Amino acid sequence: MDAKDTSSESATASPEPKLSSTGIAAMQGDGGDASAEKWHTGRPAELAAIESLRADEGRCMDLNSTRQGGSPNFPIYDVAGPGTVASVKHLGQDDGGQLLEGALAQYRSAFREAIGNGTDPTKFEKAAEELSRLSEEGKPVPIELRDKPLEYLRGHAQLWVPADHAYQVKDDLSRRLLSDDPVTREVTASQYNLNHNSENYSQNVADLLNRVKPLPKTSSELKDEFSRGAPRGL
């Protein structure tokens, strides 16, 4: 995960957290190898995504795991499965229940980056190239990445955020994309690869917002996991 959001919390020595059998499996084999990864504030969110994706799609890949063919700081994206590529973010960790504008702006930026409209096109192209390679190697990533990785990511890449952040991120984007102010609507639409003059604009907005996915855990739960320390073997 790039540009991890940091907080004042730090890992402290405490008894090992209890993990479900699915959670343990998610950190082993093709469900996600966490053994070589550093324990940072964003890692619990990544592990939650791995666990959820493995349960939904049967197989998944921790893109930040070198043992699975990824890299310690894979560009832009964090997890992938046969039908999913996602950037996982846990921002605004000090905001409490209501996200402040700074965190919402960071989430907007992360989503733009995930769909190929970030500030560094080279980084997006590198991520697409790496994902195409993984597809050719038969890794559990979408097969469409093999031939048209850029197009696939622009049209299908997702942003996964804590459960209590997802609706706030969607509401923020919806207000901007469907704003009564034509300038705000036009500018925001262009930032997310949408044509604001399209007769299908409302449906296109709905489809875009559906690519913001809630993790199975809230921000508080993820912060609690971080404070308890890394799971065994991490």
DSSP notation for 180-192 = SSHHHHHHHHHHT
Residue 110: pLDDT above 90? yes
Q: Work out the average pLDDT over 97-123.
A: 96
Q: Which tens digit of pLDDT belongs to each residue from 153-166? A: 999 999 999 999 99
Tokens in use for 173? 């984007």
Question: Are 141 and 135 a contacting pair, CB within 8 Å?
Answer: yes
Coil, strand or helix: which one is 61? strand
Q: Specify the higher pLDDT residue, 111 or 32.
A: 111
User: If you compute the radius of gyration of the chain from its CA atoms, what whole number of angstroms results?
Assistant: 17
Q: Work out the average pLDDT over 214-232.
A: 87
Tokens in use for 217? 């855990």
Domain positions in the chain are 21-166+216-228
Q: Specify the higher pLDDT residue, 28 or 134.
A: 134
CB atoms within 10 A of CB 198: 12
Q: What is the reported pLDDT for 84?
A: 98
Q: To which H or E segment does residue 21 belong?
A: helix 21-26
Question: Are 188 and 204 a contacting pair, CB within 8 Å?
Answer: no
* Paired sense of beta strands 158-161 and 84-88, if any: parallel
Tokens in use for 230? 């890394």
Looking at 11-20, 29-38, 111-120, 144-153, which range is the least confident one?
Answer: 11-20
The pLDDT-based confidence of 232 (bands split at 50, 70, 90) is low
d(CA 151, CA 139) in angstroms, rounded, equals 19
Q: Is 79 left (phi over 0), alpha (psi -120 to 50) or beta?
A: beta
The pLDDT-based confidence of 97 (bands split at 50, 70, 90) is confident
Question: Residue 88's beta-bridge partner residues?
Answer: 160
Tokens in use for 45? 């969110």
d(CA 45, CA 116) in angstroms, rounded, equals 22
Q: Work out the average pLDDT over 114-122.
A: 96
DSSP state of 69: T
Q: What is the pTM of this model?
A: 0.81
